[in-house]
Amino acid sequence: MTTKKIVRLHRMLTAKPEKIYQAFLEPDAMARWLPPNGFTGKVHHMNAKVGGTYKMSFTNFTTGTTISFGGKYLELVPHERLRYTDIFDDPNLAGEIQVTVTLKKVSVGTELNIVQEGLPDVIPLEACYLGWQESLLNLARLVEPEIPD
C-alpha cells in the first residue's frame, strides 16, 4: 500500500505570472530550469494543451544515469494555474504524481505555489524538497531578469 506523500512549495518571484507560466510550457525553458543541480535536462516532446502529453529526461552529469518521465496536462489556465501528471518510466518509481502550480499576481511580482502529490514511497520527501528548491532558484534566474531586446 502506497502512502500519499505530498510536497508543498511557496515562493515569491519578481517576474510577472505570464513569464512564469511560459517557463512551464516552453520546452527550452523547462530543460534549462527544471533539472536540479548536477543534472542536465532534455524535453523529448511537449504538447502543452489540456489532454496533451510531454516527455522529459534528466541525466546525472556525474554518472551519466538518465531518469525519464512524462505525463499529461490536466488543466491549463493561462497565467494562473497548471495541473499535470508525472509518471516515471522506471517501474521502481511506479505511480502517478499530480502537480498543481498556482500563480497569483502580487505587488512585487508573482506568488508561486506548487503542490506535488502521490510521490513514490522510494523517493525521500527531503530529496524532493531539495530538488525543487534548486529548480526554483534556476526558475528565478531565468524569469526574474528583464533583458531588453
Q: Where are the domains of the chain?
A: 6-143
The predicted pLDDT at position 95 comes to 87
pLDDT surpasses 70 at 2: no
What is the rounded distance in angstroms from the CA atom of residue 23 to the CA atom of residue 28? 9
Q: Tell me the CA distances in angstroms from 26 to 49, 95, 107, 118, one per residue in order.
A: 12, 25, 25, 25
How many other CB atoms sit within 10 Å of the CB of residue 39?
19
pTM of this prediction? 0.92
Sign of CA dihedral 45, 89, 69, 52: positive
The three grid cell numbers given for residue 127, joined into one nine-digit string: 530529496
What is the rounded distance in angstroms from the CA atom of residue 50 to the CA atom of residue 64? 33
pLDDT tens for 103-141 read 999 999 999 999 999 998 888 999 999 999 999 999 999
The predicted pLDDT at position 1 comes to 43
CATH of 6-143, one of 3.40.1640.10, 3.30.530.20, 3.40.50.261, 3.20.20.80: 3.30.530.20
pLDDT tens for 44-54 read 999 999 999 99
The predicted pLDDT at position 40 comes to 96
Amino acid, res. 88: F
How many other CB atoms sit within 10 Å of the CB of residue 141?
11
